[in-house]
A and B are shown apart, each in its own frame.
Chain A
Amino acid sequence: MTSGPGCGAGAAETFGRDRMEQILANGVYLGAQYAMIALGLTLIFALMNVLNFAHGQMYVLGGFVTYTIYGQLGLPFVLALMMSCATLFILGALIEKFLFAPVIKRSSRDESTMLLAAGLAFFFDAVILLLFGEKQRGVPKIVNGVFNWDFRLIMPYDRILICVLAILSIVSFILFMQYSKTGRALRALAQDRTAAQLMGVNVDRFSMIGFALGAMLAGLVGGLLVTITGVNLGMGGPTSIKAFMMVMIGGAGVISGAIWGGIILGFMEAFGLAYLAQYGDITYLLIFVSLMIFLAIRPQGLMGKPWG
């Protein structure tokens, strides 16, 4: 957790900083990837009331799985992506079953899970350090070439591809949550745990699946983004912090909120980098100040339910 947010999900490198088309395209690109990170975090929060500090580390872990399989072993990228998803899904399921579920049952306060999550974040950092070291790792480009529309909009093809893949994943995730039986059970669980249990939802099992899905989303983004930004150990913490900001903008535990939060943060960052870069590294300062003002007016975020 040592580096600034600039080295998170590839925010710092944008092209052609002055044109509106370019800024909007960068915003869409950043927003799509951010929304996916926030989705996983908000899903875990909605289901278990757990603030997953280790989310950024899960994202980094997913990146390293893809790096190993696609970059090191030279196997197809799609296979590497699937392996990233599978690894994180299994890891998430195990963590929920053997760590979070027992602690939630035994502890007298909800917040105790935070310590567990923070411990997990440290643990993942240590594992990643031992397995992959501190160096920045990159993989070969998946598609070559740059899309260039009259020098008004410049975007490498691989970014466009990743952006499209991210949007597709978000759409399929929403469809899954809306229409599949598992998705319905998860939504019921998020709404009211007891009621869901009374309706015959296997609460323990679906908590596990939900957590695993959240972790899988983090792994998927990690796998997608390793092709563009590469991956390094220090990314985890700042990524978690960004995900927290998005969840706060949109409202914790609400899926549409996470997507809005991701898109809004993505656009703010794109605009900030375009217009504020000459004044130094103040984009995040301004984003934070506006977040505080926003939360003073609307503490539950855009889509969140007011408490009480």
Chain B
Amino acid sequence: MIKLSMFQWVGLAIFFLGVFVIVPMMIVSTGRTDLFFTLTSVGLLAIASAGVWLTFYIGRINIGQGAFALLGAYVSAILVTKAGMSFWLSLPLAGLFAAFVAVLIGLPILRLRGVYFAMITLVLTQVFTLTALALPITNGAKGITSIPLPGAVSIFGLTLIPDFATLENPRQAFYFTTAILMVLTYAALYRIVNSRLGHLCRSMQQNEELASSIGVNISYIRILIFAISSFFGGIGGAMFGSIAQSVYPSSFQVADSVNFMLNCFLGGLGYVFGPMLGTLVLYFGWDLLFELGKYQMLVYSSLLIILMLFLPNGLLSLRMRKSGGQK
């Protein structure tokens, strides 16, 4: 079992309190319900970024998460609209399907390393977008629209999840759903990192040959990690499609894949909560710069470059430097 220090327990408690009580209360009291949507997006992107971070953990640069997010979004959308399935059932199925495809694609491409892997995953995103445009089931460039909101779930007459369409404020419901999913994702991530699997991953990150020579089944672990990573991507994408009630081939593109990677870099690759922080900073940074109009992109990219120039090891490396633990 993982033992947390007193300090970590307090931090965790503050985090839960913030996400589930303080932030919703503040949003409701100020009446800015649009922030629910913004924060939901941050949460979903953070889930997908968590997957990217996990592939970083075995020393692979993954710029293909957009592909799996798109896949998840389409699987869920098709299951809900064409098969009439409940969204809550389609959500895990979307994740599992993304993981299954990741295994198929991962078998050949996970043999690649370094920039080769980065390049092929980048191409992968582009190919998924093109496939979505070409296939008949995805409805081409028109996409799948007017996806119904998630329905009710009840067991023995007891309503566990109410029908989102009947809710007064579905955005708030989406916010809480996403928050729970995000907490689960990062709990899983933390569990993986602090398990035997995590140790094996770290050994692979340092040197795959060495890890293999002391008996680590590297090909199995990298497929497993890539599948878990894509599962997160699929879940994030499926949720996104449900909130937007539509999926287009352009819902997740190369730029999104690059952004997932940037989130991880910005937060710092050595820290489990890095991608969450990175997503929050990048997303809100972009939103805050909206006032600048046509200079938004210019300022945003300049800030990215400057940040990289002064903090090449990520935001959370600031904390590390203070404690003098940097390698």
Contacts and interface: CB of A to CB of B under 8 A. Distances in A.
B296 to A, nearest CB: 8
A107 B134 contact: no
Interface in A251-308: 252, 280-282, 284-285, 288, 291-293, 295-296, 299-301, 307-308
Interface in A127-146: 127, 129-130
Contacts of A2: 250, 253, 255
Contact of A122 (B130, B209, B301): B301
Interface string B180-207: 0000000000000000000000000000
A176 to B, nearest CB: 25
A126 interface: yes
A292 B133 CA distance: 20
Interface string B107-142: 111011111101110111011011101100000000
A103 B61 CA distance: 18
Q: Which of A111, A247, A291, A295 has the most CB of B within 10 A?
A: A111
Please classify the interface of chain B as helix (H, G, I), strand (E, B), loop, or mixed, using the class held by over half of its residues: helix
A241 interface: yes
Contacts of B105: 292
B308 A112 contact: yes
A123 B309 contact: no
B261 A248 contact: no
B12 to A, nearest CB: 28
Contacts of A293: 108
B298 A116 contact: no
Given A130-B295, A281-B134, A285-B131, A122 B300 contact: yes
A244 B123 contact: yes
Contacts of B288: none
Interface residues of B, number: 50
Interface stretch (B25-33, B34-42, B218-226, B262-270): B262-270
B302 interface: yes
A116 B308 contact: yes
B3 interface: no
Contacts of B161: none
B130 A281 contact: yes
A220 B115 CA distance: 25
Given A111-B61, A123-B301, A299 B112 contact: yes
A51 interface: yes
26 contacts: A1-B258, A2-B253, A49-B115, A51-B115, A51-B118, A51-B119, A107-B312, A108-B327, A111-B61, A111-B118, A115-B266, A122-B300, A123-B301, A126-B301, A241-B254, A245-B123, A252-B115, A282-B134, A284-B127, A284-B130, A285-B134, A291-B123, A292-B105, A292-B109, A295-B112, A307-B113
Given A112-B265, A281-B134, 8 more contacts: A116-B305, A120-B301, A126-B297, A130-B294, A285-B131, A295-B109, A295-B120, A299-B116
Interface of A: 1-2, 4-5, 45, 49, 51, 53, 99, 102-103, 106-112, 114-116, 118-120, 122-123, 125-127, 129-130, 237-238, 241, 244-245, 247-248, 252, 280-282, 284-285, 288, 291-293, 295-296, 299-301, 307-308
